[in-house]
Amino acid sequence: MRLGIIGLPQSGKTTVFNALTGGEAPLSAGSSYGQEMHVAAVKVPDERLDRLTEMFRPRKTIPAEVQYTDFPGVGFGSRDKAEAAWVGQLRTMDALVEVVRVFEDERVPHEGPIDPAADLEKVHLDMIVSDLAMVERRLQRLEADLKRTRTGERAPIEAEIELFQQFQDKLEAGTPIRDIPLTEDQERAIRGFQFLSAKPILVVANLWEEQIGEAGAIEARLSAAYPHQKTAVASLSGKIEMELAQLSPEDAETFMADLGITELAAGKVIRRSYDLTGLISFLTVGEDEVRAWPVVKGTKAPPAAGAIHGDLEKGFIRAEVVAYDDLIAAGSLAEARRRGLLRQEGRNYVVQDGDVINILFSR
């Protein structure tokens, strides 16, 4: 899963990036829109892998990964070529993590009073305007294609024009594409456009240390201010979390206890990102490795096998499946088989979160 971190300058985006990744990317000292991008991959915390590693003692354990990209401060109105390049890369992200500033700090400049709801609206409008430009260009091309097409062959083009005119109307009214009800065919048809306002968004409220106790109320206010589909809200103190991420586990645990923090934000952000994007993890086990494989909820067994290797999907015969909790209760695969907990599933089986799966296939 690839997550793009966005936000206005001085929102603490790069601080949050360092907090989530344990990185040490340099922090911007000014309000420039032109800072460079930073990229880092993070292992997805999963206690199930720890238990399975104890059970199977594999040569290696491989968690799922999330890749974070910290993008320059949002401002899509420029015609600068460098900006066009990073906005194009932003469109390839699976979801967006939008950092909004809640903290008060006179040392960090901000135009006017701190207003996270207003900052949300600014970024929202930037994405709307960027998508609207794409929609208008597409409509111009479709209208030209329609004129060159025979009457009897115009139906697909006319249907797409109708859909994009709906997008144009909604975007001009400030409605993001993710709020527009679409059929599966329509979603498939527009996937290649990678509209920014269609992407799931996790809003992250960046707090000051003294605001941690108000986190729940702050999240509730932001949820009310930004009531869109495929949107969730989380909060953290970027400065504190960045410092914690760079400590040893023992020192971090002591510091967290003093601050009343029960969990590092990295795990919370990943969980909410998984929920937003509809991801789950199935597991594979053995002497060589224990591994987590992320797939979209609703994935059937053959495509899930394809996440491991394309040959497994092509030659798929069946899957041996046991639920994680059943395997732990049984204590071993052999005992799970003896108890009838290890099932044989065919091509139509929908993979569930925590399934431990062995794929049988023909070469």
Q: Are residue 313 and residue 164 in the same domain, yes or no?
A: no
283 lies in some domain: no
Contacts of 82 (CB under 8 A, 6+ apart): 34
**Residue 33 domain flag:** yes
Going by C-alpha positions, the residue among 170, 171, 76 that lies closest to residue 123 is 76
What CATH number is associated with residue 185?
Answer: 1.10.150.300
The residue out of 168, 196, 224 marking a domain boundary is 196
Number of neighbours of residue 208 by Cβ within 10 angstroms? 17
105 with 230, same domain: the answer is: yes
CA-based angle 352:353:359, to the nearest 5? 60
Verify that 190 and 262 share a domain, yes or no.
Answer: no
Total structural domains within the chain: 3
Query: Cβ(100)–Cβ(116) under 8 Å?
Result: yes
Contact yes or no for 321/353 (Cβ under 8 A): no
- How many Cβ atoms sit within 10 Å of the Cβ of residue 61? 18
Q: How far apart are CA 222 and CA 256, in angstroms?
A: 25
What span, in angstroms and rounded, lies between the C-alpha atoms of 308 and 310? 7
| Residues 156 and 22 both lie in one domain | no
- CATH number of residue 346's parent domain: 3.10.20.30
Q: Find the domain containing 82 and state its range.
A: 2-45+64-114+198-277
Question: What tens-digit pLDDT sequence spans the chain (363 residues)?
Answer: 899 999 988 899 999 999 999 888 887 654 444 457 899 999 998 999 999 999 999 999 999 999 999 998 765 544 555 556 788 889 999 999 999 999 988 777 777 789 999 999 999 999 999 999 999 999 999 999 999 998 889 999 999 999 999 999 999 999 999 999 999 999 999 999 999 999 999 999 999 988 888 999 999 999 999 999 999 999 999 999 898 888 888 888 888 888 777 778 888 888 889 999 999 999 999 999 999 999 999 999 999 999 999 999 999 999 999 999 999 999 999 999 999 999 999 999 999 999 999 999 998
How many whole angstroms separate alpha carbon 62 and alpha carbon 156? 45
Quick check: is 9 in a domain? Answer: yes
Give yes or no: residues 271 and 319 share one domain: no
3-state secondary structure of 251: helix
In a domain, residue 287? The reply is no
